[in-house]
C-alpha cells in the first residue's frame, strides 16, 4: 500500500494543501493523510495515525522533506521507524528503500535534506522577527487595526436593546449578528464608552 502525507502550517483559509494532494496522487498514493500543523511540532495527529497504520513493505510518500518534518531529530526518528518497519520512503523524486536498511550515503543525504528543511524554518522565523522589529522602529502599528464606533455593524446596533434588556445572552447575540463572541465584546466596549 502507498500512503501519502501532506502538511501545511496554517489552516485551509491561508494555505492550500490541494497541490500536495494532487502531486501525491500522481506519485501513486492509494491513501493520503493530511493536516494543518507546524512541521516542527513532534506530536501531529494525522502523521501519528499514518505511522501506526503503515505495515512492513508499504510505502510512505511526501512531496518534500519539509512536509514530513522540519525537525532533524524527528526525521532521524522517522528514518529509524522506516528501517524497523521495513518500509520505503519516497520524498519527491528521491526514493529511500529502508527494507534492507540504509547505506551510509543515502542516510547522510536524507539527514542533510532534513538539516536544510529545519534551517529554512529557522531562517524564516528570523526574517519575520527582523521585519517586526523593523516595523516597530519605524513606528508602524502591528496587528489588527483598532475598532472604531463606525465599524460596528448595523445588525449589532439593531439588536443591542434586546441584549441590554436581558432578552439575549452574549452567545445568542453574537450568533444572531454573525460575529464571534470576542468581536462582540469589542463592539460592546465601544458601545458602552
Domain count, the chain: 2
Q: Which of 121, 115, 120, 51 is nearest to 89 (CA)?
A: 51
Average pLDDT, the chain: 90
Q: Is residue 138 part of a domain?
A: no
Calpha distance 86→35 (Å, rounded): 25
Q: Is the pLDDT of residue 131 over 90?
A: yes
Q: Is the pLDDT of residue 126 over 90?
A: yes
Domain of residue 78: give its range: 2-133
Q: Is residue 128 part of a domain?
A: yes
Q: Is residue 129 part of a domain?
A: yes
Q: Is residue 141 part of a domain?
A: no
Q: Is the pLDDT of residue 44 over 80?
A: yes
Q: Are residues 122 and 47 both part of a single domain?
A: yes
What is the average per-residue pLDDT within 142-157?
85
Q: Is residue 79 part of a domain?
A: yes
Q: Is residue 96 part of a domain?
A: yes
Q: Are residues 153 and 129 both part of a single domain?
A: no
Q: Is the pLDDT of residue 191 over 90?
A: no
Q: Are residues 51 and 122 both part of a single domain?
A: yes
Q: How far is CA 73 from CA 7, 28, 45, 79, 102, in A?
A: 18, 28, 18, 10, 17
Q: Are residues 20 and 45 both part of a single domain?
A: yes
Q: Is the pLDDT of residue 35 over 80?
A: yes
| Half-sphere exposure of residue 182: CA atoms within 13 angstroms, side-chain side | 0
Which residues are 3's β-sheet partners?
31, 60
Query: Which pLDDT band, with edges at 50, 70 and 90, does 32 fall under?
Result: very high
Q: Are residues 126 and 180 both part of a single domain?
A: no
The reported pLDDT for the residue numbered 39 is 85
Q: Are residues 110 and 37 both part of a single domain?
A: yes
Q: Are residues 68 and 113 both part of a single domain?
A: yes
Q: Are residues 24 and 64 both part of a single domain?
A: yes
Residue 29 belongs to a domain with what CATH number?
3.40.50.1390
Q: Is residue 16 part of a domain?
A: yes
Q: Are residues 78 and 158 both part of a single domain?
A: no
Q: Per the structure block, which three cell numbers stand in for 79?
A: 528514518
Q: Is the pLDDT of residue 63 over 90?
A: yes
- Please check whether residue 24 is in contact with residue 53, taking contact to mean a CB–CB distance below 8 angstroms: no
The reported pLDDT for the residue numbered 87 is 93
Q: Are residues 100 and 186 both part of a single domain?
A: no
Query: Is 38 one of the annotated active-site residues of the chain?
Result: no
Q: Is residue 101 part of a domain?
A: yes
What is the average per-residue pLDDT within 58-67?
94
Q: What percent of the chain has pLDDT over 70?
A: 98
Q: Is the pLDDT of residue 24 over 90?
A: yes
What is the average per-residue pLDDT within 157-178?
90
Q: Is the pLDDT of residue 130 over 90?
A: yes
Q: Are residues 94 and 29 both part of a single domain?
A: yes
Query: Which pLDDT band, with edges at 50, 70 and 90, does 25 fall under?
Result: very high
The reported pLDDT for the residue numbered 70 is 87
Q: Is the pLDDT of residue 13 over 90?
A: no
Q: Are residues 122 and 157 both part of a single domain?
A: no
Q: Is the pLDDT of residue 53 over 80?
A: yes
Calpha distance 21→3 (Å, rounded): 11
Q: Is the pLDDT of residue 82 over 80?
A: yes
* Widest pairwise Cα distance in the chain: 74
Query: Read out DSSP for 125-184?
Result: HHHHHHHHHHHHHTTPPPSSPPP-GGGS-HHHHHTHHHHHTTSS-HHHHHHHHT--HHHH
Q: Per the structure block, which three cell numbers stand in for 169?
A: 445572552
Calpha distance 95→61 (Å, rounded): 9
Given the residues 9, 38, 66, 130, select the one marked as catalytic.
9
Q: Is the pLDDT of residue 3 over 80?
A: yes
Amino acid at each position: 500500500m502507498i500512503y501519502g502525507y501532506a502538511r501545511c502550517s496554517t489552516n485551509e483559509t491561508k494555505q492550500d494543501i490541494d497541490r500536495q494532494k494532487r502531486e501525491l496522487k500522481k506519485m501513486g498514493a492509494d491513501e493520503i493523510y493530511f493536516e494543518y500543523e507546524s512541521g516542527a511540532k513532534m506530536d501531529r495527529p494525522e502523521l501519528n495515525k499514518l505511522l501506526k497504520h503503515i505495515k512492513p513493505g508499504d510505502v510512505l510518500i511526501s512531496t518534500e522533506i519539509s512536509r514530513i518534518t522540519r525537525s532533524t531529530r524527528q526525521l532521524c526518528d522517522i528514518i529509524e521507524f522506516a528501517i524497523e518497519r521495513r518500509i520505503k520512503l519516497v520524498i519527491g523524486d528521491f526514493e529511500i528503500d529502508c527494507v534492507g536498511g540504509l547505506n551510509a550515503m543515502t542516510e547522510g543525504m536524507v539527514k542533510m535534506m532534513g538539516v536544510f528543511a529545519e534551517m529554512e524554518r529557522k531562517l524564516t522565523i528570523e526574517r519575520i522577527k527582523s521585519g517586526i522589529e523593523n516595523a516597530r522602529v519605524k513606528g508602524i502599528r502591528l496587528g489588527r487595526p483598532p475598532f472604531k464606533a463606525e465599524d460596528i455593524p448595523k445588525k449589532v446596533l439593531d439588536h443591542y436593546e434586546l441584549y441590554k434588556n436581558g432578552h439575549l445572552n452574549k452567545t445568542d447575540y453574537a450568533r444572531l449578528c454573525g460575529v464571534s463572541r470576542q468581536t462582540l465584546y469589542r463592539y460592546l466596549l465601544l458601545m458602552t464608552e
